[in-house]
Structure 1
Amino acid sequence: MPQEQAISAPDKKRASLTAFIKKEAEAQGFDLCRITTPDAIPEAPERLSAYIEAGYHGTMDWMPETRERRGDPRVLWPDVRSIVMFGMNYGPDLDPRYLQSRPEKGAVSVYARNRDYHDVMKGRLKEIATRFAARAGADVKVFVDTAPVMEKPLAAAAGLGWQGKHTNLVSRDFGSWLYLGSLFTTADLLLDEPEVDHCGSCRACLDACPTHAFPAPYKIDARRCISYLTIEHKGSIDPDLRAAFGNRIYGCDDCLSACPWNKFASEAREMKLQARADLLEPDLSFLLSLDDPTFRTFFSGSPVKRIGRNRFVRNCLIAAGNSGSGDLVPACRTLIGDAAPEVRGMAVWALSRLLPQADFAKMRQAHLPAETEAEVRREWTMAE
């Protein structure tokens, strides 16, 4: 009989540490855990540069500022030898697009309906990192969308899924509904195979976008993306895009929801984060009434809190203007006198769509002369 090949001590250690961290990931409620190397995404710097040069990043100035570190994990941390990628399913019980038929409600992106996943995942990753570092005698760093790390290409390289035509990660088991986190380490670990692209000729995600934010498959122009515009973008929203927002007040799930691979996402884990009941179908009338203290209290522990009350109410006013509901007129009328120009401006736009023309003209005559902000005056005059 042929002699069995001896397994070296370093190989045994790699195998042991790999099994250890994957077991820890499962214990912490992660649905996927795969491993890759820091040099696994050599095409990333060129693709990132092309994205930025095209202006697709909008006003996200941190992207060009961190271009080098974002494009190459070894620039971020030269000592890293292995990158462990984690995925947690957050698939909803229902297709969130059903809310589009409830215009008096606000549609909050599925990922933001529960506790801030940054905090939840980072806490769990730190527990894994502490135990792994003690076992491996290696240095570790954990990241959850809070550092210049290209999680989606790294997750694809590690085999969690592939980047779909909507640029988000798609999993064969969980569709487009995965939170991602990473652990960088100086330890050598066994590697997983990357996943191949299974999108084929499907373009459901591209066709589902309300604002046509995809100039081509696998490319997204943030300047037209509702998620970017409602979360990252400050100030006024392009008037040509507002009607397409519908009642989406924080993020947009349409491209994710349309993915056919979501049929597998129902296999939710027991430890999956549960959505807050009051964020499933919140009334726009209530949301429009939020002042800064009540906004902070209501969204305590939620990622929504990070955008601030003014930007959030701006979004709600766009939804109000799209609702066709006269019941929202009193709340919008109150916000004409708000201290924040972005709120006053969107209140003007909402009322221009909800009020009879003659009533709106009287309101403009009463308020325009006293308005000093050019942006708000422009809203009044555009609505003539």
Structure 2
Amino acid sequence: MDVAAPSLKDALTGEARALGFDAIGIADPGAIAGVREKLEAFLASGAHGEMAWLADPRRGDPRVMWPDVRSVIMLGVNYGPDENPLAILAQRSHAAISVYAKGDDYHDLIKKRLKALARWLIAQAGGDVKVFVDTAAVMEKPLAQASGLGWQGKHTNLVSREFGSWLFLGAIFTTLELPRDAAERDHCGSCQACLDICPTAAFPAPYQLDARRCISYLTIENKGPIPHKFRKSMGNRIYGCDDCLAACPWNKFAQEGREIKLAARDELRAPSLAKLSRLDDAQFRALFTKSPVKRIGRDRFLRNVLIAIGNSGDATLIVEAQRLLSDDSALVRGAAVWALAQPMDVNAFHALKSKHHGVEGDDSVGAEWRDAIA
């Protein structure tokens, strides 16, 4: 089989940079064959929670996903924030939204660039391609490590010596044989800052994540009520959690010479919980147009906002939570009950309970009323 000339790889790298990619590496499709065993152990433990798609049998080996693949081109875009993402946690009457979700949906942004680069590659060298951005049975992080972009840190996310923990990843599978890059080795050393900062102790051990305890999972993937034992730990985090990413010491390199390419929307930097709690479905969709937040829907979003209201210590937000006791969604009503039980006087809460509990038709909301204040 003909091996592509090194000059093609150099040109590919140049084109990737021109399209806005900050990192590029090439891996052999068989480089992560051993990852499947770790994935199966993870699935067997149940730590994936409701994310059933992780059990897709094609995951873990690109050659199963596409037998014709001969090279995997991994690409990264630095999305390091232009402000401290943990500072918002002290503004308890305002919402903390994960860095990656404060701008336009990265799936759309990265996929356009991947398709453009794939078209360029076909025009230059022929072959066939497939592009992936976190929406198929592709294990991007192990492939990124195999291609030299970084390594999977103790928080299980990719860490780069150039960009810290802030890289969006995308992949191009190609039938072309391209020169491989050396895999990156682990540079975490004895550091465990990412593990120590986790609000819910979601890491049972270094390099292991129990998604069921992770605030990102709880606020995004979890479709039901937030488990009681994690509600206080959520603080004002209403979509995702950046704590383990932000704690990584390698982030100090992420801003050097960086051009802001994926800017946060001003209205999503520190939105007030009061304003967010008043969103109806149409307003929610309008505010989060092109945002990944839109995918969880208004009800799950308001569930998260109400947990933050309960944690805010702001008595002026009681009226917002009280209004949502009559919401059409049982998920929202149940979260409103918990939110009100945190700051309210016991007698005032029992007066509300006597008004609403008897007419509540949903068992889960009834349980919230029953258990909120004994």
Aligned equivalent of 1:81, options 31, 45, 70: 70
Task: Output the TM-score relative to the length of structure 2.
Answer: 0.98
* Moved segments of 4+, more than 4 Å: none
What is the one-letter code of the residue matched to 1:33? I
| Other-structure match for 2:169 | 180
Aligned equivalent of 1:55, options 37, 46, 53: 46
Aligned equivalent of 1:20, options 8, 11, 15: 11
The size of the alignment, in residue pairs, is: 373
List per-residue Cα deviations over 1:158-178 (Å, max 9, x = no partner).
000000000000000110000
1:278 and 2:271 aligned: no
What SS does structure 1 have at the residue aligned with 2:328?
Answer: coil
What is the one-letter code of the residue matched to 1:260? P
What is the Cα deviation at residue 270 of structure 1? Answer: 2.6
What is the Cα deviation at residue 23 of structure 1? Answer: 1.2
What is the Cα deviation at residue 188 of structure 1? Answer: 0.6
Query: Which ranges in structure 2 are unaligned for 5 or more consecutive residues?
Result: none
What is the Cα deviation at residue 284 of structure 1? Answer: 0.4
Asked if the contact 1:158–1:195 (Cα under 8 Å) also holds between the matched residues in 2, the reply is: yes
Query: Which ranges in structure 1 are unaligned for 5 or more consecutive residues?
Result: 1-8
Alpha-carbon RMSD: 1.1
Distance 2:277 2:155 in 1: 31
What SS does structure 2 have at the residue aligned with 1:286?
Answer: helix
| Other-structure match for 1:367 | 356
Distance 1:59 1:300 in 2: 26
List per-residue Cα deviations over 1:345-370 (Å, max 9, x = no partner).
00000000021111000000110000
Matches within 5 A, 1:157-172: 157-172=146-161
Asked if the contact 1:29–1:269 (Cα under 8 Å) also holds between the matched residues in 2, the reply is: no
Distance 2:60 2:249 in 1: 30
What is the Cα deviation at residue 63 of structure 1? Answer: 1.2
| Other-structure match for 1:120 | 109
What is the one-letter code of the residue matched to 2:19? Q
What is the one-letter code of the residue matched to 1:287? L
1:300 and 2:289 aligned: yes
What SS does structure 2 have at the residue aligned with 1:33?
Answer: strand
Matches within 5 A, 1:205-244: 205-244=194-233
What is the Cα deviation at residue 100 of structure 1? Answer: 1.3
Distance 2:284 2:324 in 1: 15
What SS does structure 1 have at the residue aligned with 2:5?
Answer: helix
What SS does structure 2 have at the residue aligned with 1:237?
Answer: coil
What is the Cα deviation at residue 271 of structure 1? Answer: 5.6
Among all aligned residue pairs of Structure 1 and Structure 2, give the percentage whose two residues are the same amino acid.
Answer: 56
What is the one-letter code of the residue matched to 2:9? T
Matches within 5 A, 1:289-368: 289-368=278-357
What is the one-letter code of the residue matched to 1:314? R
Distance 2:259 2:153 in 1: 27
List per-residue Cα deviations over 1:255-313 (Å, max 9, x = no partner).
00000000001125436211101111100000000010000000001000011000001
What is the Cα deviation at residue 20 of structure 1? Answer: 2.3
| Other-structure match for 2:144 | 155
1:130 and 2:108 aligned: no
| Other-structure match for 2:93 | 104
Distance 1:105 1:271 in 2: 24
Task: Output the TM-score relative to the length of structure 1.
Answer: 0.96
What is the Cα deviation at residue 22 of structure 1? Answer: 1.0
Asked if the contact 1:138–1:185 (Cα under 8 Å) also holds between the matched residues in 2, the reply is: yes
Asked if the contact 1:152–1:169 (Cα under 8 Å) also holds between the matched residues in 2, the reply is: yes
What SS does structure 1 have at the residue aligned with 2:113?
Answer: helix
Distance 1:105 1:268 in 2: 31
Distance 2:220 2:125 in 1: 39
List per-residue Cα deviations over 1:72-112 (Å, max 9, x = no partner).
11110000000000011000122211111100000000000
Distance 2:33 2:322 in 1: 54
Asked if the contact 1:39–1:73 (Cα under 8 Å) also holds between the matched residues in 2, the reply is: yes
Distance 1:53 1:92 in 2: 35
